[in-house]
Amino acid sequence: MNLRRKILQAALLMALLPGLAACDRLGLGGAGNKPVFKGVDITGAEYARTLNLSDQMGQPRTLGDFKGKVVVVFFGYTQCPDVCPTTLAELAQVKKALGADGERVQGVFVTIDPERDTAELLKAYVANFDPGFVALRGTPDQTAAVAKEFKVFFAKVPGKTPESYTMDHTAASFLFDAQGKVRVFSRYGAGAQVLADDLKILLAEKT
């Protein structure tokens, strides 16, 4: 009887293995289907909950405007020499690689340099990467408030002239699920594949 029970248990386990492997490939995990992100899982974080700024067309926007889509929020500035263009280019690459699912991914670029980043400049800047990307800007006070809400650091670094300054800033993206909840903190330099894998998990979740 014990041998028969063991054989039945082994057969059941073998039947379940393909399904478990598929879950692991998607990063959905095992028991409870708890997702396993490659970025930092910040599900349930009590920050990055609000975002109220104007877009490149001058229209007020909030996170609620993007409900139903998986949103990637990145803070930067248009004169950034490396981190910002690399991040936006990777996001555009991933969005394209996702095919039809890429239409459900919304890139949001928040400028930390509203002094130089006018709405017109932001419009042209994000369009270079993806015409569907949204750029947000606010007053210096609004920018500081949003950065505080997201726990994002930024600071002006003086240049040779008053206009040639650069900006030090947090180099990471925030991934939101289709319900508008922040889920992942994705560090700069992790690569397009890591971003793609985490976006696939969020896209696969039931809304």
* Pair 84, 187: CB distance under 8 Å: no
The alpha carbons of the chain give a radius of gyration, in whole angstroms, of 21
- The answer on whether 23 is annotated among ligand-binding residues is no
For 139, residues 6+ apart whose C-beta sits below 8 A from its C-beta are 114
How far is 126 from 132, CA to CA, in rounded Å? 8
CB contact at 8 A, 174 and 185? yes
The β-bridge partners of 168 are: 155
Strands 182-187 and 172-176, by their bridges, are antiparallel
- Cα separation, 180 vs 63, whole angstroms: 6
Q: Which two tokens stand for residue 125?
A: 């800047």
Q: DSSP alpha helices (H): ranges in 98-138? A: 119-127
Residue positions forming the annotated binding site: 80, 84, 169
Binding residues for Cu cation, by number, are 80, 84, 169
